[in-house]
Chains A and B, each alone.
Chain A
Amino acid sequence: MLLLPSSFPILSLLIFSPLLGAVGAALLNNDRWLRWWSLGVTLVIAVLSLELYLGFDPGTAAFQFTEQTPWVPALHINYAVGVDGISLLLVLLTTLVMPLTVLASWRYITRRVKEFMVCLLIMETAMVGVFCALDLVLFFVFWEAMLIPMSLLIGVWGGPRRIYASLKFFVYTMAGSVLLLVAMIALYLQAGSFSIPVLMGRAYAPGFQCWVFLAFALSFAIKVPMVPFHTWLPAAHVEAPTAGSVLLASVLLKMGTYGFLRFCLPITPYATQVLMPYMLGLSVAAILYGGFAALAQSDLKKLVAYSSVGHMGFATLGIFALNSQGIEGATLQMINHGVTTGALFIAVGMLYERLHTRDLHQASGLGRAMPVFTTFLGVFALSSLAFPGTNSFIGEFLVLTGGFARSKWMIVCAVPGVVVAAAYMLRVLQKVAWGGLDNPTHPGLKDLEPREVLTLAPLLVFVFWIGLHPEPFTRVMHASVQHLLTQVTQSAAYASASLR
């Protein structure tokens, strides 16, 4: 596959400057300075990452801005990074969400601020690294290294059951990656390289593909999470501090779906085709399960967490529809979910800072006391239920179109999920905006301060931008998606021909 190197190592800069920022943060001792420092670092990185979008050539499916140097020559491991249309959007999502997580923790985190910011910045390094890595081992190192700061974020600054949630998150993910590592080594022994572009270009025996697919899929399915591997998610989301929830929802879950797109589809195309019906079935199950489970929650964070399961079900549904609407819809849905659910978690966090509860019934009737907040919440709730004109509508519509072309029955089964999403989100909106006004604590509540408006406003912009004019986003991924589809169909045809 073609690699387009860049003269300036911008990806390495994006990956490692947060790490430098973390070192800098470790040397600071004043909580105020620490917050400003972290905000500054993440903002600078966000601005830098825009350079990536501007310099990106959407006309080609090649990996761009690539860099490659040997890392462990004895095992043919390289430090290789690069982005294509799909990973570009996810890198941008990561870098743009990071300043918002710092802002969202401004008042909420008062204890051990230094360690918190260090963890947050290390997370950024690992997350950007995962999306940029073009070497399996490098990918795995970032993928696993993320566990340490994330479990600390949950375990140190989380809610009452934080330790349980943190350990569950860690052990679950670790168990998922057991076979991932074995499959990686097996691929290396077949292809003689850990380089992802090289691995994509090889054809493997059908049986081998199926095993590798399953090993990869288990790990990614846990991360997405797909039903029935989702049980760590509600615990982790509910207990994590706001910034942790936002990172989990906006970025970490995407790593699972990204893994499917980057590894399962192009490297094991035959297995993808064979196992597609099951993956579609699990996706539909996730949509329905997530929706109905969310309907039953009264804890707002839990509600949003279960809605995540449903929304990510749409993303996997689109991926395994294996056509261009499906995959483009899925990628867009990944971005949408990052924007909308991230925003909802921030909003719930703001509510919690004021009410010290996340109970839906106690949060009712805020519409009069906090009109600005309620407006934001309303928009994000509508976006979450895929209201036309918002971002999720475009994504879900594309996914459903693509899915319909693949299997009518699956989509017929998935549609109730859309309706349920409307039901639980409207229920939230109805309660919070217009619910019982007799709640005595409410009159004294302060509405959003400028910092909080600033946290939510960028996400609001993206809700409408993607909803009304998605072209800048679909444009960059189009070539990559088409290329991915040719990889899947051609190699799968080759594999099934060799099977005969």
Chain B
Amino acid sequence: MTVATLQAFLPELVLLLGALGLFVVCLGEGRGRRARAVASGVALLAVGASAVSLTQSGVLFDGTYRVDAFSQLLKVVLAFGYLLVMLVSRRLPAIRGEIQPEYYLLLDLSVSGLVMLVSCVDLITLVVALELAAFPLYLMVPMRLEAHGQKSQMEGAIKYVMFGIAANGVMLFGMSYLFGLTGTTSLPLLFPRLQPLMHSPLALVGLAMTFCGLYYKLAVFPFHFWTPDVYQGAANETASLIASLPKVGAVAVLIRLVSLSAPDNPPLVLFMTVLACASMFYGNLIALQQTDFKRLLGFSGIAHAGYALIGFVTLDRAGYSAALYYIVGYAFMVLACFTVICHVAPDGENLSLEQLGGLHRRSPLLALTLLVGVFALAGIPPFVGFMGKFNLLVAALGRGHLWLVIIAMVNAAIGVYYYLSVVREACLREAPERAPIVLPWSSRLLCVLLIAAIVVLGVAPGRFLDSVATSVACVNAAPSMAPAALVAGGAR
């Protein structure tokens, strides 16, 4: 291995070495605290490593793994997200003490899967990375302590696994079609070979089925059934991870896959338009009825998956970068909401909207975090939710999808109602006096970081949008475009 390769692979190495370290920690007993320290350190190092290797580019492992502006930008986002999730998972009140080291190990493994996922340019490595990201999550959901008299964590876990495996099966099936048609699993080679066959039913079905595995991750209707139950069944900290980072990974891979079908593909566009509309309406309408905050976020997540899908309907770079920008913003918004859930529920129980009552008195900072997160989700400026939606709508209308844009805006208006009902419970309604919530410095830091991310991404999106746009431009670019010197073929 050359130094250049090592540098390009640095974030992954940090996470994998971290996993090894955590594994060693797991061997002892009663080491929850130490495991947390190690995991937090790994998260910090990962942020640093991904920042250092931001400008790296090259192709590793026989052309199956590409380090480019796209992947490196996402690695920074994912590493930063990991750090935030670690700050959220400070206490893990709903996870038994003796398995907490394993919990952190799985968390680290899942994130490392996501970090590798964004670099995969081969269907095989892609599936492996997807599984690496998914399987730890399947285990983390049932690790929650059994709630009194109910086994919702088991129900959620089973649903998660079953739907996950089924979606993977469908995806693999679709990929087998693509392989059968083109004789390759490498995305850069697949693209030119698929172009002449694009309008054959086989290619369309193959592509559509391949997308399905990622729609499941993203919780697009009708692959969403697991979402509310898993959110409800999993520990609050686990749900905060499931709701945020995997969606960023899913959108990233979806960009690589959907751009295979560019530039013009009416059947797939119709397919995605229908799914986007169905997700938005389904998620928003059902969320109106929710009283459990996590379930509400689950259904709102389905609606947001629908919004993100609008970016793919355009089949052009403007749309992809809008979708990516949106989902990154979404990860921060939803993390802000989960931060509040984790801190308001000290014993790790599920939180009904009513329990938010009087939050402004109990902890003004948490109330502010909640307001910012919820209003951002509702798409109110100056937060990132607005700028994200705005970008999506400009991209979609630019390609003439007028009705899709109108439907999206109607949905934004519907969504406002249930987001406001969260605000109503937390800030407007009189509530019985409850003890104030004292936040440790790490939680304060977390709140400030999240608010800053949501506001800054919304108010000054210029630089981030530019880097997203340039990074999206290099997705599936022909391998020859990568600098020859960095094509590190000898990476084995």
Whether, in the assembled complex, A167 has its beta carbon less than 8 Å from a beta carbon of chain B, the answer is: yes
**Minimum distance in angstroms from A171 CB to a CB of chain B:** 6
Known: A74-B462, A147-B380, A167-B420. 19 other contacts (CB 8 A): A72-B387, A73-B466, A74-B465, A75-B391, A112-B360, A137-B390, A144-B380, A145-B382, A163-B424, A166-B424, A167-B417, A174-B412, A175-B413, A182-B393, A182-B397, A182-B406, A182-B409, A185-B397, A189-B397
**Given known contacts A170-B416, A174-B416, A186-B397, A181 and B428 CB-to-CB distance under 8 angstroms:** no
Whether, in the assembled complex, A140 has its beta carbon less than 8 Å from a beta carbon of chain B, the answer is: yes
Q: Which of B375, B390, B412, B466 contacts A148 (CB 8 A)?
A: B375
Whether, in the assembled complex, A179 has its beta carbon less than 8 Å from a beta carbon of chain B, the answer is: yes
Whether, in the assembled complex, B427 has its beta carbon less than 8 Å from a beta carbon of chain A, the answer is: yes
Q: Which of B381, B413, B429 contacts A178 (CB 8 A)?
A: B413
**Given known contacts A140-B381, A189-B398, A170 and B390 CB-to-CB distance under 8 angstroms:** no
**Minimum distance in angstroms from B322 CB to a CB of chain A:** 10
CA distance A155 to B391 in the complex (A): 31
Whether, in the assembled complex, A302 has its beta carbon less than 8 Å from a beta carbon of chain B, the answer is: no
A144 touches B381 (CB 8 A): yes
* 16 CB < 8 A contacts A-B: A73-B466, A74-B469, A145-B381, A145-B382, A162-B428, A163-B429, A170-B416, A174-B416, A179-B406, A181-B393, A182-B402, A182-B405, A182-B406, A185-B393, A186-B397, A189-B394
Whether, in the assembled complex, A71 has its beta carbon less than 8 Å from a beta carbon of chain B, the answer is: yes
Whether, in the assembled complex, B128 has its beta carbon less than 8 Å from a beta carbon of chain A, the answer is: no
**Minimum distance in angstroms from A128 CB to a CB of chain B:** 15
> Restricting to A145-195, which residues have a CB under 8 Å from any CB of B?
145, 147-148, 151-152, 155-156, 162-163, 166-167, 170-171, 174-175, 178-179, 181-182, 185-186, 188-189
B465 touches A155 (CB 8 A): no
List A contacts of B416 (CB < 8 A).
Answer: 170-171, 174
CA distance A141 to B360 in the complex (A): 26
List B contacts of A144 (CB < 8 A).
Answer: 380-381, 386
Whether, in the assembled complex, B461 has its beta carbon less than 8 Å from a beta carbon of chain A, the answer is: yes
List A contacts of B412 (CB < 8 A).
Answer: 174, 178
List B contacts of A188 (CB < 8 A).
Answer: 394
A152 touches B390 (CB 8 A): no
B428 touches A155 (CB 8 A): yes
Number of B positions contacting A (CB below 8 A): 35
B binding-site residues for A, Cβ under 8 Å: 360, 371, 375, 380-382, 386-387, 390-391, 393-394, 397-398, 402, 405-406, 409-410, 412-413, 416-417, 420-421, 423-424, 427-429, 461-462, 465-466, 469
CA distance A178 to B412 in the complex (A): 8
List B contacts of A73 (CB < 8 A).
Answer: 462, 466
CA distance A148 to B442 in the complex (A): 28
**Minimum distance in angstroms from A145 CB to a CB of chain B:** 5
CA distance A175 to B461 in the complex (A): 26
The chain B residue sitting closest to A73, CB to CB, is B462
Range for the number of chain A residues in contact with chain B: 35 or more
List A contacts of B413 (CB < 8 A).
Answer: 171, 174-175, 178
State the main secondary structure of chain B at its contact with A: helix
Most B-side CB within 10 Å, residue of A71, A156, A163, A188: A163
CA distance A174 to B424 in the complex (A): 17
CA distance A152 to B427 in the complex (A): 8
CA distance A175 to B387 in the complex (A): 18
State the main secondary structure of chain A at its contact with B: helix
Q: Which of B406, B409, B410, B427 contacts A155 (CB 8 A)?
A: B427
List B contacts of A71 (CB < 8 A).
Answer: 462
**Given known contacts A148-B375, A182-B405, A171 and B427 CB-to-CB distance under 8 angstroms:** no
CA distance A89 to B386 in the complex (A): 30
The chain B residue sitting closest to A138, CB to CB, is B381
List A contacts of B461 (CB < 8 A).
Answer: 72
List A contacts of B371 (CB < 8 A).
Answer: 148
CA distance A73 to B387 in the complex (A): 13
CA distance A361 to B394 in the complex (A): 55
Q: Which of B397, B402, B427, B462 contacts A72 (CB 8 A)?
A: B462
List A contacts of B393 (CB < 8 A).
Answer: 181-182, 185
CA distance A29 to B375 in the complex (A): 26
**Minimum distance in angstroms from A154 CB to a CB of chain B:** 9
B469 touches A170 (CB 8 A): no
**Minimum distance in angstroms from A458 CB to a CB of chain B:** 32
CA distance A156 to B413 in the complex (A): 22
CA distance A156 to B409 in the complex (A): 28
**Minimum distance in angstroms from A312 CB to a CB of chain B:** 24
A167 touches B424 (CB 8 A): yes
List A contacts of B394 (CB < 8 A).
Answer: 75, 185, 188-189
A155 touches B381 (CB 8 A): no
List A contacts of B390 (CB < 8 A).
Answer: 75, 137, 181, 185
CA distance A228 to B409 in the complex (A): 22
A141 touches B382 (CB 8 A): yes
List B contacts of A155 (CB < 8 A).
Answer: 423-424, 427-428
**Minimum distance in angstroms from B415 CB to a CB of chain A:** 9
CA distance A74 to B460 in the complex (A): 12
The chain B residue sitting closest to A167, CB to CB, is B420
**Minimum distance in angstroms from A275 CB to a CB of chain B:** 20
> Restricting to A119-145, which residues have a CB under 8 Å from any CB of B?
137, 140-142, 144-145
CA distance A148 to B383 in the complex (A): 12
CA distance A104 to B381 in the complex (A): 29
9 closest Cβ pairs, A-B complex: A141-B381, A155-B428, A178-B409, A175-B413, A174-B416, A185-B397, A74-B465, A144-B381, A178-B413
The chain B residue sitting closest to A76, CB to CB, is B394
The chain A residue sitting closest to B318, CB to CB, is A74
A178 touches B410 (CB 8 A): yes
The chain A residue sitting closest to B411, CB to CB, is A178
List B contacts of A137 (CB < 8 A).
Answer: 390
CA distance A74 to B465 in the complex (A): 7
> Restricting to A25-78, which residues have a CB under 8 Å from any CB of B?
70-75
A141 touches B424 (CB 8 A): no
Most A-side CB within 10 Å, residue of B371, B375, B380, B417: B380
The chain A residue sitting closest to B410, CB to CB, is A178
List A contacts of B462 (CB < 8 A).
Answer: 70-74
B380 touches A145 (CB 8 A): yes
The chain B residue sitting closest to A114, CB to CB, is B364
List B contacts of A174 (CB < 8 A).
Answer: 412-413, 416
CA distance A188 to B395 in the complex (A): 11
A148 touches B380 (CB 8 A): yes
List A contacts of B360 (CB < 8 A).
Answer: 112, 115
CA distance A170 to B462 in the complex (A): 29
A74 touches B397 (CB 8 A): no
**Given known contacts A71-B462, A145-B382, A155-B427, A170 and B391 CB-to-CB distance under 8 angstroms:** no
List B contacts of A179 (CB < 8 A).
Answer: 406, 409
